[in-house]
Structure 1
Amino acid sequence: MPHLLLLAGLLAASLSATAEPLLLQAAQIKALGIETTVAGSPQAGRAGTLPGRVVVPTEQMRIVAAPVGGMVEMLAVAPGATVKRGQVVAQLASPQALELQRDALQSSSQAALLQQNLKRDEILFAEGIIAEARLQATRSAAAQATALASERRQGLAMAGVAPGKLGGPLALTAGIDGIVLEQHAQLGQRVEAAAPIYRIAKLSPLWLEIQAPLATAASLKPGAPVKLAGSEIGGKLIAIGRAVDSASQTVLLRAEVSHGAEQLTPGQVIEVEIAGTSGPQISLPASTLIRDQGKTLAFVQVSASDKGLAFEARPVRVVSQGGDSVVVDGLKAGDKVAVKGVSGLKAMLTGVGKE
């Protein structure tokens, strides 16, 4: 019996390596639910492209945040609005801002008073009326008060509070010229210190973050021309990642869009062509492929007749994978590939269920 089991196993393994095309009649095709798609068609994706995403360069983004706790009293802009650097975009009513103003005024007045005392004691010491120890004490007190006043002024500046007066709303301004991407707070909302109010970005130039197979990334160099598939929007490669994603086995590439950036939207998913990477590559649903005897296979329809349809298990190489789709080579545009009923075809290929 062990010898029979071993022989059956070897026979099943040899079927996947040397099997003839699988001929299926109409009833079998219907029972297995087999459906095909044309490789290279719009439904199957573009050939020779890599998946990517549009992002804003980090140095071109700014967060408008509440420097102190308070209530959002006014919002001047909405997502999509264009703003200029220094433009008031929101106002806060903040008791904490009033406390900062009060403390700054008090420390400034105290520093001015002690400076006057220092000048008086310097005159008195010069005339021999007071001891040097008193002058040193006055000088030390004046220096401490001046330092405290400077610290309070810096605190006001960091909070965006205007010095020299008490009261009034706290104005929040845009740090750069750009577009408002997100609004994080609502009118009347109470926010804590450092809570984000708006996210503002300059949208030119933009970056493309591209997922590329390790072999493809190894053949590229910064400066390689990059463009969006089917358009003239493009730029150049500026960085090649050194880490490989464990799930997709791809490397992150970064490209800068030098022309046509105004036609893109941050977060947009795109397909990218990079000079030197185009080739006979086809995008297919991931469910199209099977693994057998260490090989990756796709079932390609090779003939059709009154006897039925014939499918061939064709070896392919996975170039990249993203989401529910994979890019492979080993197929050509126009091949009819089975995208449904693949598990049934695999069972027939490997002899599962055969007597």
Structure 2
Amino acid sequence: MIAPPRYGRPGRHLRRRWCAITAVWLWLSMLAALPLAAAEPVGELVPLSADEQAALGIELAAPEPAGAAMSRRYPGKVAVPNRQLRVVAAPQAGVIEALLVAEGERVEAGQVLARLASPELVAVQGDYLEALTRLGLAGSELAREQMLHAEGITAERRIIEAQAKRRELATLVDQHRQRLALAGLEPAAIEALAESRRLSSTLPVRTPIGGVVLEQLADTGESVAASAPLYRIGELSPLWVEVHVPVGALAGVAVGGRVRLPAVGPEPGVDGRIITVGRMVHGEDQGVLVRAEVTAGTEDLRPGQFTEVQLLTVAVGEADGPGRWRLPRAAVVRDAGDAYVFAAADNGFRAVPVTLLAEEDRTLVVQGELSATDQVAVSGVVALKAAWLSGAGASADGRGGDDG
């Protein structure tokens, strides 16, 4: 036996669907009624009662004066300025006996970073000492020729030849001294070598600048050639922050402008100054290089770190023209390429044309005929725009009928 159908109460999903349909019908009915009252030209009053505003969910906020605006966040990279970077290389070929510092350590100018065992250093020292010996002999020979010439035994030509030989050997000694300096020996060590005449195969490698060891490029016991890199040293104050800015967003970006690295966690944000605006567009992202220098707060940054950067895009203090205002993104609507906001007026709203100056993270900076006492719609704006455009269309149709 087949049981008869049961007719109970509608399910919960049916009740929800019925409520949603009812709400949409009421909203459309309200919009249909608005154009009859909103028969004003474009840009003027859109009549709307308080009850209708509440039904459309319209909320108001005062525009915030914007003397300056920061752009949206762009990805940037922290870098060490070129003038503050050094690569410490092996001055002679040899074997690394010891590495005395490691990545992350701070070093002072002139500090010994590594020690090399270099047979070539022994050869350079030997050449220097040999040239010193020959120079001493040449000096003695010149003194002898001068004495013989004074006694009338030798001709003056012998003195001239001895002087030329001595100058030649003096030049050779200077040449070998320079080779020792290039090998990493300090002047005091070269003088000690000339006095003691003791050869050494151990060569200290020193850093020319103070800073932080950014990278260790060799290992203990490794055989390296002359000029092989051992360390990369960088002074970390100030630092550069490099960012690629789209070509269309470069308006107002100039050398001397300000940038800001937003705060991360409890730390405050870091400010910098633009020092370079590139001229080439990079093919990968169609961006232009903008480089800023950061002098304060560099202890919170690391070379190679990726961060977010905002650029100051609106100049401060310009008094000409309408004011600059900061508004939520939802407050601005666009129509036919123009931008508008809806400012509250008696019994409705008026559409105020504005010029978009900058796009920030959650807000826009605009320029237009507003004041700090105005109240601008920041929600329910889509419904306002629909009523405004419908009223404009009704006005155009009415004017067309009269003309016809």
TM bin, normalised by shorter chain, reads 0.5 to 0.7
- Unmatched 5+ stretches in structure 1: 1-45, 283-318, 320-328, 335-355
Equivalent runs, 1:187-266 vs 2, <5 Å? 187-230=220-263, 231-266=268-303
Q: Secondary structure at the match of 1:211?
A: strand
- Quote the offset at 1:280 in angstroms: 9.4
1:99-147 superposed Cα distances (whole Å, 9 cap, x missing partner): 1111111111111210121122122223321112221211111111110
- Between the two proteins, the alignment pairs up a number of residues equal to 242
In structure 2, the residue matched to 1:125 is: 149
Q: Secondary structure at the match of 1:106?
A: helix
1:142-189 superposed Cα distances (whole Å, 9 cap, x missing partner): 111110010000110011134213114100112111110111110100
CA contact (8 A) 2:88 2:207 kept: yes
Selected match of 2:101 from 51, 74, 77: 77
In structure 2, the residue matched to 1:167 is: 200
CA contact (8 A) 1:73 1:90 kept: yes
Distance (whole Å) between structure 2 residues aligned to residue 57 and residue 188 of structure 1:
32
CA contact (8 A) 2:245 2:289 kept: yes
Q: Secondary structure at the match of 1:273?
A: strand
Find runs of 4+ consecutive structure 1 residues off by over 4 angstroms.
277-282
In structure 2, the residue matched to 1:182 is: 215
Compute the RMSD of aligned alpha carbons.
Answer: 2.6
CA contact (8 A) 1:184 1:196 kept: yes
Larger displacement relative to structure 2 (244-253 or 200-209):
244-253
TM-score normalised by L of structure 2: 0.56
In structure 2, the residue matched to 1:274 is: 311
- Unmatched 5+ stretches in structure 2: 1-69, 316-325, 330-357, 359-363, 365-377, 380-404
TM-score normalised by L of structure 1: 0.64
The answer as to 2:90 corresponding to 1:53 is no
Larger radius of gyration: 2
The answer as to 2:115 corresponding to 1:91 is yes
Distance (whole Å) between structure 1 residues aligned to residue 152 and residue 277 of structure 2:
75
Larger proportion of strand: 1
Q: Secondary structure at the match of 1:167?
A: coil
Distance (whole Å) between structure 1 residues aligned to residue 291 and residue 121 of structure 2:
42
The answer as to 2:87 corresponding to 1:63 is yes
Alpha carbons of 1:92 and 1:277: their partners in 2 closer, same or farther (altered >3 Å)?
A: farther
Percent of paired sites with the same residue: 40
CA contact (8 A) 2:71 2:311 kept: no
1:57-116 superposed Cα distances (whole Å, 9 cap, x missing partner): 011111111001000001111100111111111000000011111111111111121012
